[in-house]
Amino acid sequence: MTQLTTTRRRFIQSGLAAVAAGYTAFSRDAVALPPAHDLRVAKIDRVTVKVPYRPVPARNMARELPHWKYSEIFTVHLQSGHQGFGETLLYYTWGATGDRDVDRALGSNAVEIMWDDSLGAGLQMALFDAVARSADVPIHRLFGAQVHDRTPLSWWNIDTSAADMAAECKEAYRQGYMAYKTKGRPWFDIWKQLELSTREVPDDFRIDMDFNDTLLDAKRGLPILKDLEKHPQVDIYETPIPQSDIAGNVEIKNATRVNIAMHYGNPPAVEVIRSKCCDGFIIGGGATRMMSRGAVSAMADMPFWIQLVGTGITAAYSLHFGGALSHSTWPAVNCHQLYEHQLLKRPVKPEKGFVAVPKSAGLGFDIDWDAVERFRVDKPKSRPEPERLLEVSWPDGERLYIANTGRVNFVLDLGRRGEMPFYRRGADTRLVPNDGSDAWRKLYNQARQKPVSKKG
Ligand SMILES: [Mg+2]
């Protein structure tokens, strides 16, 4: 400093003062801030909707997942006047936004809190959308550099009869999808499902099956997996057996041409990468988790699919991760195909399996508020649990009756524990309608205690 002239010293000091003034102007406590730059959260609106399923998902989701119809839409209003939108699928989400999260966000600088995954799905999404709209950039610019112009999307449906699955694959292909993801379950005939479905789509259409552990172990699972891989469309098996069974998963991976996918984190990613027990991951969750797990996948050079589930609002948000994450090259699972309406003015729609990553501000899609109003309901106090009696039947006349127990995966649990007849051809499952009879009530009550088996 001693060598600086007085003039130069004054110049530096005035420069520092200018920087300090600028800093104050951008801090959230500043009063004289131009409105367009005020990022404080002024107000948060919430509305719950119950969006009807399309007919095929309706009759199949009714067995185990009737509650995925409920979604909560968030509107974040910034002090600047900008708004952002998000949603939480209330009973299937990596994190629901609670009242305390909303209280915490009010008055905060949106940029300061938007990476906090603990705020929950709907609020975090709305914060990113509001900030991106105020900066006039698409959300993915807040995630980092854009690495993909377009991103692949998968159609999703729960396990269904073979005829329903074939109809859904046909519909997915008609709507521009090149991938269909569903469940592999011992209570349906998976051979027939694939036989009928693969007739409806070209060879380069992909069908992915999530077994959620129900093949139990490599010894029992492999003969089935080898059978199914004869269809060229079969591309990914997800969690065929418990993910913790590393040796079993290595055996399966080495024995089949089909890719093996695992939910990230179990076993720890470093063990999965070292053991090579799968080909790629399923990654979901908040923005911080998505970006860090996406970076690990890139480091390991392993593909993954993004799994963020909701209506079209969530699907639109998911496209931004697809644009920013280099290894999100397997088709994303957003499940918005389940619903009659995407809640967007312009729906998310792929062409040859891909959707363009949005270029316009925020989500790049506008909410259809007329639709939201149409589906508006009071927020349920807890997850609705309608009475359901299921009948699984086999060609030899054997039947198994299962009733809802209050657990979400009450049927899947039986399959996972091996308490259900293992994959057999001809298996079929239906919901037994409540005809109001004493017989239905008696069987339902019995099945609630323990599955009821009837032979012949
Ligand atoms: Mg899964």
Ligand 1: centre distance to CA 319 (Å): 19
Expressed in angstroms and rounded, the spacing between residue 181 Cα and the centre of ligand 1 is 10
Q: From ligand 1's centre to the CA of 349, what distance in Å? A: 23
Q: How far is the CA of 394 from the centre of ligand 1 (A)?
A: 26
Distance from the alpha carbon of residue 137 to the mean position of ligand 1, in angstroms: 32
How remote is the CA of residue 184 from the centroid of ligand 1, in Å?
11
Output DSSP code: residue 340.
S
Asked if 155 contacts 338 with a C-beta cutoff of 8 angstroms, the reply is: no
CA of 13 to the centre of ligand 1 (A): 59
Which of 3.40.50.1980, 3.50.50.60, 2.60.40.1480, 3.20.20.120 is the CATH number of 150-377? 3.20.20.120
Using the predicted structure, report yes or no on whether residue 391 has a pLDDT greater than 60. Answer: yes
pLDDT for position 20: 39
Measure 60 CA to ligand 1 centroid, in angstroms. Answer: 17
Output the CA 182–ligand 1 centroid distance in Å: 9
Question: What is the Å distance from ligand 1's center to 142 Cα?
Answer: 28
The stretch 203-230 carries a mean pLDDT of 98
Encoding tokens for residue 127?
A: 């914060």
Task: Calculate how far, in angstroms, residue 20's C-alpha sits from the geometric centre of ligand 1.
Answer: 51
Q: Token pair for residue 177?
A: 């999808």
Say how many Å lie between the CA of residue 309 and the centre of ligand 1.
Answer: 11
Distance 264 CA to ligand 1 centre (A): 10
Q: Residue 27 — very low, low, confident or very high, per pLDDT cuts 50/70/90?
A: very low
Share of the chain above pLDDT 90, in %: 90
Ligand 1 center to residue 333 CA distance, Å?
Answer: 10
| pLDDT tens digit sequence for 428-443 | 999 999 999 999 999 9
- What separation in Å is there between the alpha carbon of 440 and the centre of ligand 1? 33
Residue 125 CA to residue 377 CA, distance in Å, equals 21
* Paired strand residues for 215: none
DSSP conformational letter for 138 = B
Round to whole Å and give the CA distance between 357 and 253.
32
Q: What Cα–Cα distance (Å) separates residue 317 from each residue in 73, 266, 282?
A: 13, 26, 17
Q: How far is the CA of 15 from the centre of ligand 1 (A)?
A: 56
219: CA distance to ligand 1 center in Å? 21
pLDDT at 178: 98
User: From CA 66, how far away is CA 123, in angstroms rounded?
Assistant: 24
CA of 263 to the centre of ligand 1 (A): 7
Dihedral sign, Cα of residue 356, residue 362, residue 366, residue 372: positive
Higher pLDDT, 278 or 17: 278
Q: Which CATH number fits domain 39-143: 3.30.390.10, 3.90.1150.10, 3.30.750.24, 3.30.420.40?
A: 3.30.390.10
Q: d(Cα 447, Cα 401) in Å, to the nearest integer?
A: 6
Tell me if 221 sits within 8 A of 215, measured CB to CB. yes
Tell which residue, 278, 220, 272, has the closest CA to residue 254: 278
Query: CB count, 10 Å around CB of 234?
Result: 21
Q: What is the pLDDT of residue 29?
A: 43
User: For the whole model, what pTM was predicted?
Assistant: 0.91
> What would the DSSP string read from start to end of 140-199?
HHHHSS---SEEEEEEE-----HHHHHHHHHHHHHTT--EEEEE--TTS-HHHHHHHHHT
Which residues are CB-contacts of 383 (< 8 A; sequence separation ≥ 6)?
67, 90, 91, 408
Give the strand order in the sheet containing 70-78. Answer: 83-89, 70-78, 41-50, 376-377
For residue 233, what is the DSSP state?
T
Provide the pairing of β-strand 70-78 with 41-50: antiparallel
Query: Ligand 1 centroid to 210 CA: how many Å?
Result: 6
Ligand 1 center from residue 243 Cα (angstroms): 11
Q: Which residue has the higher pLDDT, 93 or 26?
A: 93
- Residues in Cβ contact with 418 at an 8 Å cutoff, skipping those fewer than 6 apart: 216
Mean pLDDT of all residues in 267-278: 98
What is the Å distance from ligand 1's center to 110 Cα? Answer: 32
Cβ–Cβ < 8 Å for 358, 138: yes
CA 393/CA 400 separation, integer angstroms: 6
Residue 389 pLDDT grade (very low, low, confident, very high; cuts 50, 70, 90):
very high
pLDDT for position 11: 40
Residue 192, pLDDT above cutoff 80: yes
Distance 53 CA to ligand 1 centre (A): 20
Give the tens place of pLDDT for each residue, 296-353: 999 999 999 999 999 999 999 999 999 999 999 999 999 999 999 999 999 999 999 9
- Ligand 1 centroid vs 212 CA: distance in angstroms? 6
Distances (CA, A) of 52 to 17, 32, 337, 341: 59, 47, 11, 8
Mean pLDDT, the chain, integer: 93
Dist CA 127 CA 179 (whole Å) = 31
Is the sign of the CA dihedral 446, 452, 455, 456 positive or negative? positive
- Report which of 235, 407, 29 is spatially closest to residue 225, judged by C-alpha positions: 235
How many Å lie between the centroid of ligand 1 and the Cα of residue 261?
A: 9
Span from the CA of 402 to the centroid of ligand 1 (angstroms)? 22
Q: What is the percentage of the chain residues whose pLDDT exceeds 70?
A: 92
- In 261-334, where does DSSP find H-type helix? 269-275, 287-300, 312-324
Task: Single out the residue of 92, 303, 333, 302 nearest to residue 208, CA to CA.
Answer: 333
Number of CB atoms found within 10 A of residue 206's CB: 22
